[in-house]
Structures are given as structure tokens and as C-alpha cells.
Structure 1
């Protein structure tokens, strides 16, 4: 699946990944390949990405690696759209 994290300033990440987990209003949820289409409001928390991702040096400092080895990006809130194996996170 493909994931994009978009901030007001730039497209922070655009990559092929195995899965992505996001902080939804009712708790964290995860999407894998062929997940049903969804649009969701996101709350403050971490976007967690699993897969072999090579970050450009210019954005690597924006991400952390979680205890489970997944790449993490902290958001203050936002919106997620998932459709046709593409997740777009519009992050604050």
C-alpha cells in the first residue's frame, strides 16, 4: 500500500509500506493492503508506519522509531483518507 503524510508546509512522506496505524477519535486503528475505503478525523497521537522505508536526511529528524520498530510521526490532529490501497494523512 502507499502512504502519504501531508503537512501544511509540504508532503512529508510518500512511500510504499506494509501497514499504517493512526490515532482515531475512538482509538488507534490500523490499515493493511485492501482495507475498506475510509475517511476519519484524527486526534493527537502517533502515526505508526511499518515497512522498509528509507527516509531522506532532510526529513529523518521529523520521525522516531518506536519500541516495536515501527516508524512514528507525531501529529496534533488531522484527517485520514484511505482508498484503493492509498492512505493520505493530512496532519496538523
Structure 2
């Protein structure tokens, strides 16, 4: 699936990914390829992304890669829309 993570300052990610886990206001949930359409408000936490990503050097201060191979993007909240195998996160 295609994932875009956008903050007010910059685009954090725009890439094909295997999965994304987000901090929904009612709890964390994961989306995989061909997930049903959804719109959700996001809570403070981290977006966990699994995939073979190339993170630009200017984002290394924001994004971390854990030993489990997942990329972690901290957010203060936001909104997510998943539709047609594309997820867009507007993050604070």
C-alpha cells in the first residue's frame, strides 16, 4: 500500500509500505494492503511503518528505526484516511 505522512512543516514519508500501525483515539490499529476504507482521528503516540524505506538525512532527527525493522514516527495527534490502498496521515 502507499503511505503519506504529512506534518505542518514537511512531508515525512511518501512511499510504498508493507504495513502501518497508528495510535487511534480508541486504541492502536494496523492496516495492511487492501484495508477497508477508514477515516480516524489519531492520538499522541507513534506511527509504526514496516517496509523497505529510504529516509532522507534531514528526517533522521525525527524518525527512528528499531531492531525489529520497523520505522517509528512520533506524532502529537492527527487524522488518517485510508482509501483505495492509499493511506494519508495529517500529523501534528
Q: Structures share a fold, TM > 0.5? A: yes
Q: Which stretch has the larger CA shift, 62-71 or 77-86?
A: 62-71
Runs of 4+ in 1 over 3 A off after TM superposition: none
TM (norm. structure 1) is 0.95
Q: Which stretch has the larger CA shift, 40-49 or 65-74?
A: 65-74
Flag structure 1 segments of 5+ consecutive residues without an equivalent: none
TM (norm. structure 2) is 0.95
RMSD (Å) for aligned C-alpha atoms: 1.0
Q: How does 1:13-52 map to 2 (within 5 A)?
A: 13-52=13-52
Q: How many residues align?
A: 92
Shift, 1:69, TM fit: 2.3
Q: How does 1:53-68 map to 2 (within 5 A)?
A: 53-68=53-68
Aligned to 2:72: 72
**SS at 2:35's partner residue?**
coil
**SS at 2:44's partner residue?**
strand
Aligned to 1:87: 87
Shift, 1:67, TM fit: 4.7
Aligned to 1:12: 12
Shift, 1:64, TM fit: 1.1
**SS at 1:49's partner residue?**
strand
